[in-house]
Chain A
Amino acid sequence: DAGVTQSPTHLIKTRGQHVTLRCSPISGHKSVSWYQQVLGQGPQFIFQYYEKEERGRGNFPDRFSARQFPNYSSELNVNALLLGDSALYLCASSFGTGPYGYTFGSGTRLTVV
């Protein structure tokens, strides 16, 4: 069975540009969560989507947005990139919205130059 898949695996962008990151959850999982992990820190919660609705939002600026599609895949969009947005972006899928049964994808490593 396929796990959580994220694309692309690596990305280099210039300040001010826009980026779209993609995530496909495990089959049967209806919830997708996005986390940002800056080097040397733990992952920080950005969004959770369940059944195509936003269920939670972390303390991130409005430059960050996301959506979930009918097939439960998800996109994370970041506008007006800053150097500080350089990080590993992790997608996690789970069946429900609770804290159990999370599986993380291998992440997208974004570098902003």
Chain B
Amino acid sequence: RKEVEQDPGPFNVPEGATVAFNCTYSNSASQSFFWYRQDCRKEPKLLMSVYSSGNEDGRFTAQLNRASQYISLLIRDSKLSDSATYLCVVNLPNDYKLSFGAGTTVTVRA
């Protein structure tokens, strides 16, 4: 089983729409969770950390469900500039590596 699994999409949504997607992780001991954004042929960039109580950053809301071992990302009022691949990332305690999912592609159309 993969450490981190994501629905690859693509999610094709109109401007202004809300889009949400999940990722699941296999190791219940995972401690740190992140969403990264990656534009086509560019490097990943941190979008937001995910905290146990859930957190918002502007139009982006992240939720963590430890019991079911999934993380979600919701994007409100989608902009054309939100078109990207969103990478779910988890980290185990005292582990040096970040474990990435394969990414969920979101395309926002005018």
- A residues near B (Cβ < 8 Å) are 33, 35, 40-45, 48, 55-56, 58, 88, 90, 97-100, 102, 104-107, 109
Contacts and interface: CB of A to CB of B under 8 A. Distances in A.
Contacts, number: 52
B96 A56 contact: yes
B88 to A, nearest CB: 8
Given A42-B4, A106-B43, A99 B103 contact: no
Interface of B: 4, 32, 34, 41-46, 49, 87, 89, 91, 95-103
A97 B96 contact: yes
Given A99-B34, A102-B46, A105-B43, A42 B87 contact: yes
B91 A99 contact: yes
Given A35-B98, A42-B4, A45-B99, 13 more contacts: A41-B102, A42-B87, A42-B101, A42-B102, A43-B98, A45-B96, A45-B97, A48-B97, A55-B96, A90-B43, A99-B34, A104-B43, A105-B43
